[in-house]
Amino acid sequence: MTDGNGIKPPRFPLVRFRDIKPSDEPFYVVDGILPQEALVVVWGPPKCGKSFFVVDLVMHVTLAWKYRERHVEGGPVLYIACEGERGIYNRLEAFRRHRLAGKAADPPFYLLATSLNLVSECPQLLRYRSPNHRAKVRRHRPRHPEPQYRRLGKSRRRYERLHQRRRLPA
């Protein structure tokens, strides 16, 4: 692209010190939680509520509602569900019934639900796997695995103790 005089503008425009002005654009979509220009990772043990937290958070964004007394810059949301894509429909329907009951709302929320299997879709990743990969995985499994409900209970209790120790808001 060129300007009106046929001159191509520089790729990296330099700004003089006297011309630098602070930005008044919001830095966070949800104050203190969700930055506007960043990658956000939500992690935790299985079945601890990660998806419920994220669905609640992004629905507040798409509806421009305050989130736990924090300011929200509302706007459209694209939710890409690559894992547990069947359950996302139930979570969104639950939100609709409990938070939007009796309201005619069609927020700018868009869902892309797809399964993602990088092993089958990116075979070049397999060449980096060691030949005895399965043996290593088997060797690290516990001999007497606990029932899943006990493991989840312990994880939840550890999480709650950490919360209490650091006095983090719930």
Please give the distance of CA 39 from its chain centroid, rounded to a whole number. Answer: 8
Please tell me the predicted confidence (pLDDT) of residue 149: 47
- pLDDT of res. 17: 95
Q: Tell whether the model's pLDDT for residue 109 goes beyond 90.
A: yes
Per-residue pLDDT averaged across 92-96, rounded?
92
pLDDT greater than 60 at residue 100: yes
116-166 pLDDT, tens per residue?
Answer: 777 777 777 766 655 555 554 444 445 555 554 455 556 667 767 766 666
43 within a domain of the structure (yes/no): yes
The mean-pLDDT minimum among 8-12, 55-59, 96-100 falls in 8-12
* Count of domains for the chain: 1
Residue 154 within any structural domain of the chain: no
Confidence band of 26 (pLDDT split at 50, 70, 90): confident
The answer to the question of residue 64 being in a domain is: yes
Whether 36 is covered by a domain: the verdict is: yes
The reply to whether 89 falls in a domain is yes
Task: Give me the half-sphere count of Cα atoms (radius 13 Å) on the Cβ side of residue 71.
Answer: 7
Is residue 96 assigned to a domain?
yes
CA atoms of 33 and 41, how far apart (whole Å): 11
Asked if residue 104 belongs to a domain, the reply is yes
* Among 48, 117, 52, 43, CA closest to 79: 52
Gap between the Cα atoms of 91 and 98, Å rounded: 11
Residue 113 within any structural domain of the chain:
yes
**Average pLDDT in the chain:** 80
Mean pLDDT of 61-76: 95
Tell the residue number behind the tokens 């654009």, with chain if given: 25
- Range(s) of the domain holding residue 107: 26-134
